[in-house]
């Protein structure tokens, strides 16, 4: 249920912290970011379009006729979460225009995939850099009724511009990484003012609620609403598996890997292949631009490796498949697969494994799980994943699963059950967003009616 909305009076942002931030932001944009982005524009048309969007020059054409919401999601995982909430929201408010903004190329690619699937998504673009005047002009032009920020995109000037323009703003699936709490608290004076601009803050769990409070959020605005990434995995689960992926053979999947994890997994594959010759491997680099490098690594070891984009040339004797396209990893998960999560063996904090759980894959993670610690602990306590401390333990653990198919299947089944238990948050977030949108619509109607009355009164006083 939506807590009582308390739109505070106009804040005074003329504080030293905001002034310093504004100066730093303008300096960073024009001294670093613009020169860095401008040079590739000479050769790439898409880079010119990106620069225009970053400078808030992508203004709408045509008249706004419907309620309009912006979901801002920095990267691929957050964009999928935005897609799940958007799908639930349209069920409640069918007559709605949805726009998606992002912070990097991976997020844009996922956003474009969502737009292809949903007619109500009217645009996908980069969020402008955090300059107050540019954002104010941009928001005034787009006339969003609500801005929904996914997870931890706490851009001070975006929040400030929304507040000054009386544009509703909320945080969806909110989280603060434990390692970042100290840095936010160093600037608590700034971020307490930033978070005051939000109308509502929906967080994943009670721990996240405490972290938001620690950096200055008003507890009355915070609601524990669950982790919507469980629901986004449900959407991806509907994708059919490739017909040429052998379900009869065990498949090792290195998911969202970083260097040097691919080299370690290729070494693991060599050792396991001697014991289980029918095993195949799929490698999905976190950044697909590294896929050709990973392909060379695999072929250097004498393996029959191929890229996803060349899958038409696959023969039955392929050994390693490298994914070089965003959004296809969920299709290769299956009950026959063992998902080894990247970013957990090198110090990157880990990545989302819920897509693997939705497909009943057996999940193995390494020691670096700070980014998903609460979910890892939840699954581990339920016997729904295995956590190992080093590469030797990884070999023994995967070997044991390959030696015992029944144990591997049971681990995957528990993962799916735990995933199912976590679904349902998207509907709750959508109900709150619907209420915020309806409040915004009613306020706009009252403002328009008040303006019309004043105009009519003036015309009656001055018949000329």
User: CATH number for the domain including 84?
Assistant: 3.40.50.11720
Percent of the chain with pLDDT over 70: 90
In the predicted structure, residue 8 carries a pLDDT above the cut 60? no
Q: Reduced to 3 states, what is the DSSP secondary structure of residue 255?
A: strand
**Predicted TM-score (pTM) above 0.85:** yes
Residues 287, 152 share a domain: no
Closest CA to 367 of 395, 354, 348: 348
Does residue 311 lie within any of the structural domains? yes
- Of 411, 428, 456, which one is at a domain's C-terminal end? 411
Can you read off the two tokens belonging to residue 251? Answer: 């498949």
Give yes or no for a contact between 136 and 143, defined as CB atoms under 8 angstroms apart. Answer: no
Residues 340, 216 share a domain: no
Does residue 452 lie within any of the structural domains? no
Can you read off the two tokens belonging to residue 225? Answer: 């609403």
Residues 341, 302 share a domain: yes
Does residue 416 lie within any of the structural domains? no
In the predicted structure, residue 207 carries a pLDDT above the cut 60? yes
SS3 content of the chain, % helix, strand, coil (to 5): 55, 15, 30
Query: Where does the pLDDT of residue 211 fall: very low under 50, low under 70, confident under 90, or very high at 90 and above?
Result: very high
What pLDDT, on a 0 to 100 scale, did the predictor assign at position 448? 46
Does residue 394 lie within any of the structural domains? yes
Residues 90, 141 share a domain: yes
**Tokens 């920020």 belong to residue:** 149
Residues 286, 165 share a domain: no
What pLDDT, on a 0 to 100 scale, did the predictor assign at position 380? 97
Query: Where does the pLDDT of residue 269 fall: very low under 50, low under 70, confident under 90, or very high at 90 and above?
Result: very high
Sign of torsion, CA 76 81 82 83? positive
Q: For residues 191 and 179, give the distance between their C-alpha atoms in angstroms, rounded to a whole number.
A: 16
Q: For residues 395 and 272, give the distance between their C-alpha atoms in angstroms, rounded to a whole number.
A: 8
Give yes or no for a contact between 182 and 166, defined as CB atoms under 8 angstroms apart. Answer: no
Cβ-proximal residues to 294 (8 Å cutoff; 6+ apart), any chain: 257, 262, 283, 285, 322
Strands 320-322 and 305-307: parallel
Q: What is the mean pLDDT of residues 248-265?
A: 94
Q: What is the mean pLDDT of residues 372-389?
A: 95
What pLDDT, on a 0 to 100 scale, did the predictor assign at position 7? 53
In the predicted structure, residue 204 carries a pLDDT above the cut 70? yes
The total of other beta-carbon atoms located within 10 Å of residue 52's CB is: 16
Q: Which residues pair with 123 in a beta bridge?
A: 99
What pLDDT, on a 0 to 100 scale, did the predictor assign at position 94? 93
Which residue has better confidence, 211 or 314?
211
The boundaries of the domain holding residue 290 are 239-411
Does residue 434 lie within any of the structural domains? no
Residues 90, 46 share a domain: yes
Residues 111, 211 share a domain: yes
Q: For residues 376 and 447, give the distance between their C-alpha atoms in angstroms, rounded to a whole number.
A: 48
Does residue 314 lie within any of the structural domains? yes
Q: For residues 281 and 319, give the distance between their C-alpha atoms in angstroms, rounded to a whole number.
A: 6
Q: What is the mean pLDDT of residues 415-437?
A: 96
Does residue 10 lie within any of the structural domains? no
What pLDDT, on a 0 to 100 scale, did the predictor assign at position 67? 95
Q: What is the mean pLDDT of residues 220-238?
A: 87
Residues 274, 222 share a domain: no
Q: For residues 226 and 422, give the distance between their C-alpha atoms in angstroms, rounded to a whole number.
A: 8
Residues 286, 225 share a domain: no
Residues 209, 254 share a domain: no
In the predicted structure, residue 1 carries a pLDDT above the cut 70? no
Q: Reduced to 3 states, what is the DSSP secondary structure of residue 170?
A: strand
Does residue 1 lie within any of the structural domains? no
In the predicted structure, residue 426 carries a pLDDT above the cut 50? yes
CATH number at residue 337: 3.40.50.2000
**Tokens 């009724």 belong to residue:** 145
Q: What is the mean pLDDT of residues 271-278?
A: 94
Residues 169, 27 share a domain: yes
Phi, psi of 307 (to 5 degrees): -85, 155
Number of structural domains (the chain) is: 2
- Of 201, 234, 267, which one is at a domain's C-terminal end? 234
CA end-to-end distance (rounded Å), the chain: 52
**Residue-averaged pLDDT of the chain:** 90
- Of 234, 253, 287, which one is at a domain's C-terminal end? 234
Can you read off the two tokens belonging to residue 319? Answer: 């050994």
Residues 256, 222 share a domain: no
Closest CA to 242 of 171, 173, 175, 337: 337
Can you read off the two tokens belonging to residue 302? Answer: 């004498």
């Amino acid at each position: 249920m939506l807590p009582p909305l308390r739109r505070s009076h106009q804040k005074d942002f003329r504080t030293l912290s905001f002034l310093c931030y504004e100066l730093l932001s303008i300096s960073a944009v024009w001294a670093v970011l613009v020169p860095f982005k401008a040079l590739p524009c000479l050769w790439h048309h898409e880079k010119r379009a990106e620069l225009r969007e970053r400078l808030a020059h992508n203004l709408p054409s045509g008249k706004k006729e419907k309620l309009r919401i912006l979901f801002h999601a920095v990267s691929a995982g957050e964009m999928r979460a935005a897609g799940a909430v958007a799908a639930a929201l349209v069920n409640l408010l069918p007559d709605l225009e949805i726009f998606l903004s992002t912070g990097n190329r991976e997020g844009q690619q996922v956003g474009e995939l969502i737009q292809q699937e949903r007619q109500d998504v009217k645009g996908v673009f980069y969020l402008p850099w955090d300059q107050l005047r540019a954002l104010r002009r941009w928001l005034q032009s787009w006339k969003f009724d609500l801005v929904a920020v996914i997870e931890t995109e706490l851009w001070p000037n975006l929040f400030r511009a929304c507040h000054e323009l009386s544009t509703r703003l909320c945080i969806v699936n909110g989280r603060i990484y434990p390692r970042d709490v100290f840095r936010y608290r160093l600037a608590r004076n700034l971020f307490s003012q930033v978070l005051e601009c939000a109308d509502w803050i929906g967080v994943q769990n009670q721990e996240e609620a405490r972290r938001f409070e620690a950096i200055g959020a008003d507890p009355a605005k915070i609601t524990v609403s669950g982790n919507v990434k469980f629901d986004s995995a449900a959407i991806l689960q509907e994708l059919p598996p490739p017909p040429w992926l052998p379900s009869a053979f065990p498949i090792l999947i290195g998911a969202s890997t970083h260097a040097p994890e691919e080299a370690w997994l290729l070494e693991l594959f060599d050792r396991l292949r001697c014991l289980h010759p029918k095993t195949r491997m799929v490698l999905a680099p976190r950044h697909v631009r590294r896929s050709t490098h990973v392909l060379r690594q695999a072929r250097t070891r004498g393996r029959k490796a191929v890229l996803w984009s060349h899958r038409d040339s696959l023969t039955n004797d392929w050994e390693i498949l490298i994914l070089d396209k965003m959004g296809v990893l969920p299709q290769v998960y299956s009950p026959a697969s063992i998902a080894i999560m990247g970013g957990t063996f090198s110090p990157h904090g880990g990545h989302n494994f819920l897509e693997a759980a939705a497909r009943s894959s057996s999940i193995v993670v390494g020691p670096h799980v700070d980014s998903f610690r609460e979910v890892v602990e939840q699954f581990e306590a339920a016997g729904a994943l295995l956590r190992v401390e080093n590469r030797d333990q990884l070999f023994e653990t995967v070997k044991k699963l390959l030696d015992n198919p029944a144990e591997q299947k049971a681990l995957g089944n528990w993962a799916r059950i735990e995933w199912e238990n976590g679904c349902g948050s998207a509907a709750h977030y959508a109900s709150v967003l619907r209420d915020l949108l309806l409040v915004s619509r009613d306020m706009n109607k009252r403002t328009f009616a008040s303006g019309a009355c004043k105009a009519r009164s003036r015309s009656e006083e001055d018949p000329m």
